[in-house]
Amino acid sequence: MYMKYRERLEKENKESLDVSVLTTVKSCWNEVDKQCQAYKPCTSTKTQGKSGWKIEILVKKIFPELREWCKLRHIHLIECDLRWGVPKEATTQLVIDTCLEELNRCHEDTNGQPFFLGLIGKRYGWIPGGTDISDELKEKFQWVDNTSITFMEILHGAFRCKSPNAAFFFRSDEVIDSIPEKALKRFIDEETLNKQHLIALKRQLNIRFPNQVYDYNCKVDGIQDTAGRERVKFSDLDKFSEQVLDFFKTAITNMYGDNKTSEYDEEEIEEENQKFYIENKSELVVGQDNLLKTLTSYLKGEPISDIPVSEDSKSFVRDPKFWGETVSDDNMIMCIKGHPGYGKSTLLAKVVNDFLKDGYEIFYHFVGCSASSKNTETLCKRLVRVLEKKVLKKDENTNQAKDSKEDSVNSLMERLKGLLPVLREQQAKLCIVIDAVNELPDCNNYNHLSWLPPRFPGNIKCIISSADTHPPTIARLTEHSCYVCEVGPINKEAAEVIVAKTLKKYNKQLDKDQLFLIVSRPCATNPLWLTMLLEELRMFGDFRTLDSKIEKVSDSVDSLLTDIVNRIIAEDETGLVKKTLCLLVCAIESIQVHDLSNMLGDISNKEPVAPLYWSQTRRILSPYIKEIGVQSNISFYHMEIRRIVSQLLIINNGKEWYRLLALYYTKWCPDERSRSLFAPTYCLNANLKAELLEFYDKDPAAELIQDWSRSRNFQKLRCQSLASVMPQIFPVVVCQSCSTKTCRQKFRIQYKNCCVVCKSRLTFMQAAANLCNFHAFGHSDKIGKCLYCNYIVPKENRNVKNMMGILGKLCMNCSFGLENKKCAMLSVK
């Protein structure tokens, strides 16, 4: 079948092949050679893999297996096939720009060595015409004329940089012989130029990647029509799958090592998140030289002068009676405060980075650099573990630091209190830097910062920062005498440096008059305002009217951010920008990249948003969001942006968006740990009580939730009526069948003796569970109804008759305080 078709094509080719075709192909490769010689790789790193892979077996078999393999090594794999789901109305210009821009991200995320898989058959791909690609796009991606989009993806994604992580698989020509004739045109190029291009491409790939090119074979199993379109079905791809998996497992191991673990170590992940943050945050620090010198001198123990010291106030949270008496050699804490956007975090990241390079031992925690970094327990636990390592031997440290069962703030405070005298005695040296404590979730609670000692032992220096817009945090920090430094506005010269360096990254610059227009504005002293303004100017297309644009820019951070949010929403025709912003505002700190792309799609049918749309949305929002942590979580670039978006877009307490988040984490999210962390909170915020009960009853992820957290969630589902005010109290009863776990299909129960509310195992501290008058309907002194199945249970003397069932009990958490007086029935209304 194919042989006759090939003979006819070869005959036509011989007749039509002329010198011009070969000349065109040769000139293309001459241009490629020049680009390869001038190529400069990127220098950014991230534990993440990306690829441009296509066929179905990759999605159903190879990707899932490789993703699980990477997960055990703390590597987050993101597969990328942007032309899957490309809308029909998408222009050639948009498709090319988006695809190649995403390849740029792959370069940045893999230190200029993308993980790339090229599957090459008998088609070269579509060659755009001269009018399909703008001059700007050609210059941006060094476009080679008379070549296909597929070729440019290979060139841009792997060929120029000669990526050792790229693999190319050539399909055997034997496969074509089995393809039905009516489908052949979809697998074979008829154009002479395309065929000559393909021959040259395969030859050049073999030369440039001699050990990274493979041949593969498969069988054709006819044509199927399962999605409204006839498709050729292939089989016998097991060997192909093995080769792909082996190649990329080896490539990933060579790049990131084989640090396999049975499960995630949350402390190690947080450590990587913090390290990743300071490396990327400390790039541009200007205008704060004096303060930088002061902080450096303080941490080194050098004399400092002219630094304001706060007076002791009436301490009531950081209680000196709890912490004990300080000694004369103890160090005062240094408090750094400043207005949001003035660069406190950037300044401290610079300090930490410099000290690490100089070999100093330093503990640092930047609140907000990852999802878990805003947890007070996480901060205290990391601090205590570091101090324990200072005073304990390695073997002792392992036992005490890793095997401790309780990591509540109170228990960690006790451990920290016990460490201080030992640290004084041993004169242990350590620098401590903690940033943005005003963003901790308990910042409005009474016990905020109760874990912070009044002072630290002599050789331990501590710097803590907070925004001055949160007076309670500043009040807590200054309860005891401490140094107080303020990060103020930058000067005109520093503003000019920020403008020049920021625009230089995009090969742009302003003339002197335009620069003066910017730095003479009152808000130019705020680095956040400057950064947002430069992003607006960078994307402004008409340079001739740039002066007018600068003059019309708002003079406050709030109004500028408001204008930006309104603009990007108005310009977005898909509605995905607004949806993304609203989801990020309502999210618990951040959302993982793959989860967010799924949420933007169809959750009910488990269809993620088209990659082209997701990439386009991400590009629009890139100046205003950031990836935090090694697991690629998306969050806002700055908390001020989050605040403005919340004011503009969130109505009705965000219930619409909480509902969407809740549905995703209860119905689709593949990660058990994420479901256990987020599903209960989002269900409660969306008032989806029935869905929350179903999650606890049926989802295995519910087993990962700690007892106290489960109890806290169930208190919000309990009937709020009091059971103890009735003339006669009716206890909860459970029939014999349910009490022996033979009929408990309604609840996921681990133990026979469990709390009737939260299903936690009962300890010696327990209380009777009773019902209110409404839910006790049908109960009497002689009978009761089983809480789970409504089966009639006989009673005698207010107790269940022998062998007929048991009385329900409440655990310690569900009976704490007045909770034991409430009705034990759960209500979903």
Per-residue model confidence as pLDDT tens digits over 85-109: 555 566 777 777 777 777 877 887 7
CA angle, 758 then 759 then 762, to 5°: 105
Report the C-alpha gap between 115 and 138 in whole angstroms: 24
> Which pairs from 542-545 meet CB under 8 Å and 24+ separation?
none
Pick from 36-50, 167-181, 260-274, 366-380: least confident: 36-50
> Could you tell me the CA-to-CA distances from 511 to 494, 515, 516, 529, 546 in Å, in that order?
17, 6, 9, 20, 11
* Predicted confidence (pLDDT) at residue 44 exceeds the cutoff of 70: no
Dihedrals φ, ψ of 136, to 5°?
A: -60, -40
Give the C-alpha separation, 544 to 550, whole Å.
12
Say what the pLDDT of residue 723 is. 81
The model carries a pTM of 0.72
For residue 83, give the nearest of 152, 180, 17, 167 by alpha carbon. Answer: 152
Instruction: Identify the pLDDT of residue 334.
Output: 93
The alpha-carbon radius of gyration of the chain (Å, integer) is 32
Contact 169, 240 (CB under 8 A): yes
- 595, HSE (Cβ side, Cα atoms, 13 Å): 28
Say what the pLDDT of residue 620 is. 87
At 32 the pLDDT is 72
CATH annotation of 266-487: 3.40.50.300
Q: Name, in order, each residue with C-beta under 8 angstroms of 647's C-beta and a sequence gap of 6 or more.
A: none
- Quick check: 71 and 137 in contact, CB under 8 A? no
pLDDT at residue 618 greater than cutoff 70? yes
pLDDT digits (tens, 9 = 90+) for 305-315: 788 888 777 76
- In this predicted structure, what is the pLDDT of residue 725? 62
- Alpha-carbon distances of 221 from 55, 183, 234, rounded to whole Å: 15, 13, 6
Say how far apart CA 297 and CA 47 lie, in whole Å.
Answer: 35
CA 554 to chain CA mean position, Å = 32
**Strand 116-120's sheet: what is its strand order?**
116-120, 166-171, 213-216
Asked whether the predicted pLDDT for residue 396 surpasses 70, the reply is no
H helix or E strand, kind and range, residue 297:
helix 289-300
Q: How large is the average pLDDT for residues 507-517?
A: 81
What's the token pair of residue 117?
A: 């898989």
Domain locations along the chain:
2-256, 266-487, 492-555, 730-821
The total of other beta-carbon atoms located within 10 Å of residue 809's CB is 21
| pLDDT over 90 at 584, yes or no | yes
Mean pLDDT of 669-675: 87
Considering only 139-148, 349-358, 687-696, which range has the smallest mean pLDDT?
Answer: 139-148
Confidence of residue 402 (pLDDT cuts 50, 70, 90): very low
The better pLDDT of the pair 165, 43 is held by 165
**pLDDT confidence tier of residue 131, bands split at 50, 70 and 90:** confident
Least confident span in 146-160, 364-378, 566-580, 745-759: 745-759
pLDDT computed for residue 68 by the predictor: 75
For residues 138-143, give the mean pLDDT: 75
- Does 48 or 124 have the greater pLDDT score? 124
The mean pLDDT value of the chain amounts to 81
Between 122 and 79, where is the model more confident? 122
Q: Is residue 824 classed as helix, strand or coil in its secondary structure?
A: coil
Check residue 49 and give its pLDDT: 39
Q: Which residues pair with 635 in a beta bridge?
A: 626
Q: Is the pLDDT of residue 434 over 70?
A: yes
Sign of CA dihedral 271, 277, 283, 288: negative
pLDDT for 40 equals: 43
Q: How many C-beta atoms lie closer than 10 Å to residue 250's C-beta?
A: 12
Q: Is 486 exposed, middle or buried (0-12, 13-18, 19+ CB in 10 A)?
A: middle
468-508 residue pLDDT tens: 989 999 988 988 888 999 988 888 888 888 888 888 776 67
How many other β-carbons are positioned within 10 Å of the β-carbon of residue 67?
Answer: 17
Q: What is the pLDDT of residues 701-714, one digit of tens each?
A: 888 888 888 888 88
The residue with greater pLDDT, 132 or 52, is: 132
Name which residue leads in pLDDT, 822 or 59. 822
Cβ atoms 264, 673 nearer than 8 A: yes
Q: What tokens does 821 get?
A: 């007086």
Q: What is residue 235's predicted lDDT score, i.e. its pLDDT?
A: 79
Check: CB of residue 113 under 8 Å from CB of residue 161: yes
How many degrees, rounded to 5, is the angle at CA 746 between CA 740 and CA 752? Answer: 25
Cα 685 to Cα 444: distance, rounded to the nearest angstrom: 19
CA nearest neighbour of 738 among 727, 724, 749, 722: 749
- Report DSSP state, residue 399: I
Is 46's pLDDT higher than 50?
no
Q: How many helices (H) and strands (E) does the chain have?
A: 32, 26
Contact of 266 with 372, CB cutoff 8 Å:
yes
- For residues 791 and 734, the answer to whether their CB atoms sit within 8 Å is no
- Amino acid 86: pLDDT: 55
Query: In the numeric block, which tokens belong to residue 556?
Result: 């406050």
Instruction: Evaluate if residue 43 carries a pLDDT over 50.
Output: no
Whether 373 has a pLDDT exceeding 50, the answer reads yes
Q: Which residues of 318-339 are buried (b: 16+ CB within 10 A; e: fewer)?
A: beeeebeebeeebbbbbbbbbb
Return the exposure string of 258-283: e unless at least 16 CB atoms fall within 10 Å of the residue's CB, then b. eeeeeeeeeeebbebbbbbbbeebbe
Strand partners, 591: 634
The token duo for 654 is: 């965000």
Phi-psi region of 767 (alpha: psi -120 to 50; beta: other; left: phi over 0): beta
557 contact partners, CB below 8 Å, separation of at least 6: 340, 341, 523, 526, 528, 529, 532, 640
pLDDT at 442 over 50: yes
Give the angle subtended at the CA of 447 by the CAs of 444 and 448, to the nearest 5°. Answer: 50
Q: For helices 557-571 and 639-649, give the axis angle rounded to 10 degrees.
A: 60
